[in-house]
Structure 1
Amino acid sequence: MIALRCAGYNNVDVEHAYGKLHVVHVPAYSPYAVAEHAAALLLTSVRRIHKAYNRTREFNFSLSGLTGFDLHGKTVGVVGTGKIGRIFIDICRGFGMKVIAYDAYPAKDSGIEYVTLDELFEKSDIISLHCPLTDDTRHMINADAIEKMKKGVVILNTSRGALIDTEALLEGIKARKVGAACLDVYEEEADIFFEDRSGHILNDELLSRLISMPNVIVTSHQAFLTEEALNNIAETTVNNIRSFFDKEGICDNELCYRCGNIEHCKKERKERCF
């Protein structure tokens, strides 16, 4: 078996693994941590907190260039309404924001206003991504999608880097179509993130250009990183392995491709998939 210590499973070919390897994951180690980090990025961006922090450390108390905007009354489009997405929605509602959402599998009786993806792009002042990376969602934020968005839109991504076509995002920022981008993930992060590279030249031109832009905030895939989340990851991983090897051998967190729909299979499973 393969025991993943994360929610995402885009690094495993689950379809190919079916019948050979059992794959389990940690579906929700701390949805609050990720949702709260997304909200923190949003507030930092729209209120220019990162700029003010750097200035005051140099005793520069000028307000020039620090004008932001109220979140109250703005429309936020949430792509993906799993646990993280729904918690982020609750946070946004606390600010008095209007929430619209898109999900390929809408949550029933959730009180969430679902719209088409194109409608979400067209109506949202802020767009936050909380969906998994699949063949269908890869580069869902591309040049065509950005063209449909409001001028000055703020884009948040705390899910998977490849949901966004980075080159298209850069062009959208340069054209002033995208007002700001807040990214905890990057599509080519695998050989870059989680290491101290401060003493080296970064060989990734796209990431270098992103980081150099004043209206872009990049964090190093740290949205999950809270004490509570780390404890939940360890506990759930151990329980997944125990469940798999106990008498019944059924793990609720197994990723199975038997019926071609992983989420449906998880809900209907009453025995081992194979």
Structure 2
Amino acid sequence: MSDASADRLARLVTLSSGDDRADTLIRLTCGRALSLPPLPSPVDPPDGHTDAEQILTAFAEQFSVDVTGISDNQRNRFIGAYGDNAFRVVVAIFVADLLPRVWAGCAALGLGKPGWTAEAVLDRDADPVAVVLGGFVPAVARMREVDAVTTEVVRLRGAEAHNCRLCKSLREGHALDAGGSEDLYSQIADFERAEGLTDAHKAALRYVDALVWSPSRIEPEVVDGMRKHFSGKQMLEITLDVMRNAANKIAVSMGADAPRVAEGTERYEVDEQGQTIFA
């Protein structure tokens, strides 16, 4: 298990929306929605909820269950309640939603629970947006144990699950150069019957679906498929890729996932620093 990966995940546990009550509600709500143990809470659950907190818990629950179900009205009410801090709060929801999934996946695969802690020691001064989008996301993108086509297939499955219009309109250049194509990617939607996808691709896609839709019930055959086709380092990378790709839930929840092109797709590349470079 990579110490660096464990450290990055442990760092995410410390991130805060800036409000202890909100952090507690977010973490408990996401854990309940996932049927998984929540991140540790900084304070006891409040006895009563303010109007803003009721809006927050409803938003966090929908974010976890199916982000595509967040309506314009729900989004506007959330932004109205949290104003300039709304984006930071959404990133705190992302962490509370995705970290339990990562730990569930790693535990099922026999990788332990990297970065797990039972204590809530929050860093209220740190900017969670910078730590997640500027630190964690590119760090995962720099991992190279998994081949480019498999990484792209995994990304596109997550893009479809969360209906991220931007993500669905993009194609990673290294994967295209390594054999990825629109014909191959079109088979992802019905991958079980696809002839162009390999058994390893299908194993990875079953695992993606499990983390997205049923993280508390990862079936033995899903685990067996991952272990058959991937090494421990590769399984960890795919797990973290699911979380990295799910950062699109932040944009989708805020209605900020418009594609960069009106029609077709746009090529981009992930450079050696893990940054996205558009053609």
Same fold, judged at TM 0.5 (above) = no
Structure with the higher fraction of residues in helix conformation: 2
Structure number with greater Rg is 1
TM-score if structure 1 supplies the norm length?
Answer: 0.29
User: Structure 2 length normalisation: TM-score?
Assistant: 0.29
